Amino acid sequence: METHANETLLRWIVLAPLLGAAVIGLLNRRLPRRVAGLLACATVGLSFALSVVVFLRMLGLDPEHRRLTDILASWVAYGNLRIDIGFAMDQLSAVMALVVTGVGFLIHVYSLGYMAHDDGFRRFFAYLNLFIFSMMTLVLGENLVMLFVGWEGVGLCSYLLISFWFDGEANAVAGKKAFVVNRIGDFGFLLGMFLIGVTLLPHLAPGEGAFSFAVMQHHAPLLAPVATAIGLLLFLGATGKSAQIPLYIWLPDAMAGPTPVSALIHAATMVTAGVYMIARMNFLYVLTPTAMAVVAAVGAATAIFAGTIALAQNDIKKVLAYSTVSQLGYMMLACGVGAFAMGIFHVMTHAFFKALLFLASGSVIHAMSHEQDMRVMGGLRRKLPVTWWTFLVGTLAIAGVFPLAGFFSKDEILWKTWSSGNTVLWVIGFLAAGLTAFYMMRLVSLTFFGTNRASEEVRHHIHESPATMTVPLVILAVLSIVGGWVGIPAFMGGGAHFEHWLEPVFAGGHAAGTHGAAHAVHDTTMEWILAGASVAWGVLGLLLGWIVYTRRLAVAEAGRRFAGGLPYRILENKYYVDEAYDGAFIRPGYRLSRTVLWKGIDAGLIDGLLVNGSALAVAVVASVLRLFQNGMVRFYAWSITVGLTVFVLYLSFSG
């Protein structure tokens, strides 16, 4: 295997946010609020600046050798098992590092205004910095174990930030739900790692890291017999972290946290961790068409399923939450058809426009005195001009309108799906794209058009957000416009630079041509037709959404009443999935825990038999022995006499 250049700046990309979290967390109220906020922003800004520096250094290297490493220490060294504490950056992790730290920095700045009057201001920024540290550990980890450390770290930070306002029961429950659901997926992730270890370790030389990505890729043929099992187990972890069917249920409830949390963790970074992990393990997935087919099918199903639910939600953040689930489905669909680069491309563009949409929704909520129900909004485009225009840009981007960022990444995913021969999955993805445009314009219409439906007191206080909140919106809006231009495909006259940049990382995936993608005939005419159809479909969805919710409200009302309102109630109640899970798993689990584990095993066996039973036995024995310790000299003399008699008789008969 090749040796790669050492780059010590990598450790500081990861550690800078951790130092900020440590200082803010330890000093807490002894640190002025303004200083705490600026320190948090500065450390994440430093991490972004260092990521840019290392990225520029990578540009000077040969494309096949753009991999920098930074090994700090050996963590585990036993026999032929070695796990290092180290970091590595290649083309894939460079993209993720720039997105996480860049978007993370903008969200930190936005939070200065959004959380300015919150009592937990310092604690909030300590958690945010800790999250950036965990996410960078995940992204830059040199091996799968380091990735898993970051994976668990972002899970912990997600729990802390979702339940940040823990005095509200709904917030505390949402945090616990996210934590528990992700643990289900993480169990599969752990089993997948164990299977990799027991498969590779017998074949490796002493000191060769079994979980190093470079080592795993080099010895990938050894994993072929168990690739399907490993791929499905790792994908179970991804369904939890990246909110896919059946473990998506935590993400919509996670909107209970502060809006910057929704933007940072549940739109731009953490929820893409599962997509990143699958893309990172592409050399394994191309060995197993079965696992790839499962990834693609689940991704497509999630995209259309979550999109339909978003049609009937009234909470502005819930609409965006289900939109996020749907867009994550697109990313998984791309990975499942072997278009790993396009999946990561959509990760990047989605980070721009979805962070923008969440932060803009936070600006709306801020202006509406923390009201999140769109049914009492309306008419905000004149009072919130910056928020309105930036929100509109984000909406056009996610709808796939040319030439905004979302068009290029979404269109490429649909094209790769079509050209790989997965026509059914393409149809599902195409339908989901139309739904996206429709429900996003519904959101825009109810929020920004018409007349405001809030109380007089709320209307009196509506005003544009401060510069700390609007400047990040403008920057993200610009990125939502131009962010996709690095991936303009060849049929449009572009150089497909993003795909070529990632090509060395996904060389194995492209060579394998999963599901026939490599063998598809390149048809420029068909590519133009599908791209045109995609744009037209998105524009049609936007137009219908605008007409129905601004000009023909009676149509929307008729839709709600269709078939007795049953379809609408099903969508409004999210297909009753939470209720089904509650009846099938949560309540039976609760009863099992209460009657068997608690009353039967804990209270009955452990406490009753082992703890209380042993205490009772000691008490009984002691009560008997106490009869012989009564303090009467005559009784002691009699006891000695009886004892001697028995002893003498024993000796006599035994002799």
Please state the rounded mean pLDDT for residues 592-616.
84
What pLDDT, in 10s, does the model give residues 275-326? 999 999 999 999 999 999 999 999 999 999 999 999 999 999 999 999 999 9
The answer to whether the CB of 545 falls within 8 A of the CB of 445 is yes
Spatial CB neighbours of 562, under 8 Å, sequence gap ≥ 6? 568
pLDDT for res 534 = 93
The span from the CA of 581 to the CA of 577, in Å, is: 6
466, 380 in Cβ contact below 8 A?
no
Q: State the pLDDT confidence band at 522, using cuts at 50, 70 and 90.
A: low
Q: What is the mean pLDDT of residues 429-452?
A: 94
pLDDT tens-digit readout, 89-126: 999 999 999 999 999 999 999 999 999 888 899 999 99
The greatest distance separating any two alpha carbons of the chain, rounded to the nearest whole angstrom, comes to 116
29-85 per-position pLDDT tens digit: 899 999 999 999 999 999 999 999 999 999 988 887 889 999 999 998 887 788 999
* pLDDT confidence of residue 205: 82
Mean of per-residue pLDDT scores for the chain:
90
Q: Are 192 and 234 in contact (CB under 8 A)?
A: yes
Q: Comparing 295 with 371, which gets the higher pLDDT?
A: 295
In this prediction, residue 541 carries a pLDDT of 95
Angle, helix 423-448 to helix 289-310, in steps of 10 degrees:
30
pLDDT in tens, 216-264: 998 999 999 999 999 999 999 999 999 999 999 999 998 888 999 988 8
- Residue 565's pLDDT is 81
Q: 136, 13 in Cβ contact below 8 A?
A: yes
pLDDT at 6 over 80: no
pLDDT single digits (tens) 375-404: 999 889 999 999 999 999 999 999 999 999
Give the start-to-end residue ranges of the domains of the chain.
Answer: 329-572, 576-654
pTM of the predicted model, to two decimals? 0.90
- In percent, how much of the chain has pLDDT > 90? 67
Residue 508 has pLDDT above 60, yes or no: no
Higher pLDDT, 625 or 295: 295
